[in-house]
Amino acid sequence: MEASEKQQLPLDDGSVRALDDRLVIERLTVSDERAARVVRERAEAGQSPPRTVADAIEIGARVLDREDAAAEVDYVRAEFERHAAELRERLTRALADGDDRLAERIATTFDGTREGSVQQQIREVLSTALGEQRIALLRQFSAEDGSNPLTDFKGHLVEAIRRSDARQQKDGEENRRRIEALTRELVELKKQQEGDRRVEEAEEAGTRKGRSFEERVHVALERIATARGDCAHHVGDEPGIGGTKKGDTVVEVGAADGPILGRIAFEAKDEQLSKNRAWAELNGAMAERQAEFAVLVVAGEESVPAGREQLAEYEGNKMIVAVDSELPDELGLDLAYRYARLRLMLKREGELTLDAAGVRDAVEEARSALKSAQSIRLALTNAGKSVVKAREGVDELVSSVDGRLEHIESLVAAADAASNELAG
C-alpha cells in the first residue's frame, strides 16, 4: 500500500498544540513521498524547508475547511428540496379544488346562450352605438354649414381646379411664345448655316490668302524633303535669331539621316512684291534662319516680281518659283528645291571639279520643260477637249524635267567621286 493511503499525520498530544492563531509542532514526522519531494525541490530553488512545510499546512487547512462548508451546503439544499416538495403538493390539491368552481363561474358569465351573459351585453351595446354613429355621420356630412368636414375640402378642391385651369392656360401661352421664338431662331439658324455653306463654297472655289497659302506650300515642301532624307520645319510663327519672323519654312538638308549639311529658307507670298522687297524678304529669311540659300514661292506667275524670272538663280543664293495658289505645283517646287539643294552641296564641296557648263545647260532645259508643262496645265484648265492627249504631254515633260535634274545630280556625283579618287 502506498504511503498516501496510510495515516498522513500520526500525531500525539505532546507533538502538536494549537495556541490561539498558532500551531506548534514538535518532533513530528510526516511519511509522504510527495511532501518530501516538494520540500527538497523548493529547498534547491532557494526556499527554506520550514517555509515550505508551513505553506503546505496552511493550504491543506483551507481545503479541509472548504470541504466542511460544502457538506453544510448539501444539507441545506436537501432540506429546502424536501420542504419545497411538500409545498408543491399542497398547492396542487388547492388548485384542483378551485378549478371546478372557477370553470362553473366562467361558463355562467360567458355562455352566449344564457340571458344576461357578457357576450349578449356587449352585442347590445355595440348595436346601439353603431346605429347612433351612423345617424350622426349622415347628419354631419349632409349639412351645408361648417359642421360638415367636407365643406372646406370641397371648397379647396374647387379652388385648386380653378387655379390649375388658370396655370394651364398661362403655360399654354408661354409655350406658344417659346415655340414662336424657337421657330424664328431655327429660321435664322438655317439662314446662317446657308450663309456659312456659301462662304465655305466660295472659299473652296476661290483663292485663299495669307496663312492658308503658306501652310499649303509647307505641306508640299515637307513631302519633297521627306522623300530626300531632309527635314522641313514650319517656322512662320517663330521669331528667328534676329527677332523677326522672316522665313516660313526651313529645310535642314540631310537631317533625317545624319548631321545637318545646310539649311534652305522658303518664303511663301500670295501677293506680288517689288524686286527690292523680295530681296529684303529673302535676305532676311537667310539671316533669321541661318540658311545658305533662299527661295521665294509666289502664287501664280502674275505674282513674280517685275523684272525677274522664276527658276533663275540670282546672286548665287536666291531663286523665285511660281505655283498654283490652291494646289501648289510640286513640279516647280521640286525643281527649285533640288536646284537649291545642289547649290548648297556644291558650296559645301567647293573644291570639286564640276562641269559648270553642263549644269547650266541641264538647268536651262529643265526650266524650259517646266514652262511648257505650266502652259499645258493652263490649257487643261480652260480646254474641254483633248484632255487625255494634253495630260500625256504633261507627263512627258515632267519626265523630261526629272531626267534633267537627275543628270545634274549625276554630274555632282561624278565630280564628288573624282575628288575622292584624287584625294586617295
Task: Output the DSSP codes for 27-49.
Answer: S-----HHHHHHHHHHHHTT--H
Element (H, E) at 66: helix 49-110
291, burial (CB in 10 Å: exposed 0-12, middle 13-18, buried 19+): buried
Please give the pLDDT value at position 416.
67
Share of the chain above pLDDT 70, in %: 66
Average pLDDT over residues 230-246: 91
| Residue 187, pLDDT above cutoff 90 | no
Please give the pLDDT value at position 14.
47
293 in helix, strand or coil?
Answer: strand
| Residue 292, pLDDT above cutoff 80 | yes
Please give the pLDDT value at position 1.
41
Average pLDDT over residues 127-151: 73
171 in helix, strand or coil?
Answer: helix
Please, which pLDDT band fits residue 163 given cuts at 50, 70 and 90?
Answer: confident
Averaging pLDDT over each range in 133-147, 148-162, 250-264, which range is the top one? 250-264
Average pLDDT over residues 248-277: 92
**pLDDT, tens digit, 9 for 90 and up, residues 62-96:** 877 777 666 666 776 776 777 677 767 776 776 66
Q: Please state, rounded to an integer, the average pLDDT across all residues of the chain.
A: 77
Gyration radius of the chain over CA positions: 63
**pLDDT, tens digit, 9 for 90 and up, residues 38-71:** 888 888 888 888 888 888 888 887 877 777 666 6
**pLDDT, tens digit, 9 for 90 and up, residues 370-420:** 667 666 666 665 565 555 666 676 677 667 767 777 777 777 777 767 766
Average pLDDT over residues 255-268: 92
Average pLDDT over residues 320-324: 91
| Residue 319, pLDDT above cutoff 90 | yes
C-alpha distances in Å from residue 320, one per residue of 3, 88, 228, 277, 342: 134, 133, 21, 13, 16
Residue with cell 494549537: 18
Rounded CA separation 251/79 (Å): 121
Who has greater pLDDT, 310 or 5?
A: 310
Rounded CA separation 401/339 (Å): 12
Please give the pLDDT value at position 199.
61
Who has greater pLDDT, 236 or 13?
A: 236
What is the pTM assigned to this prediction? 0.43
223 in helix, strand or coil?
Answer: helix
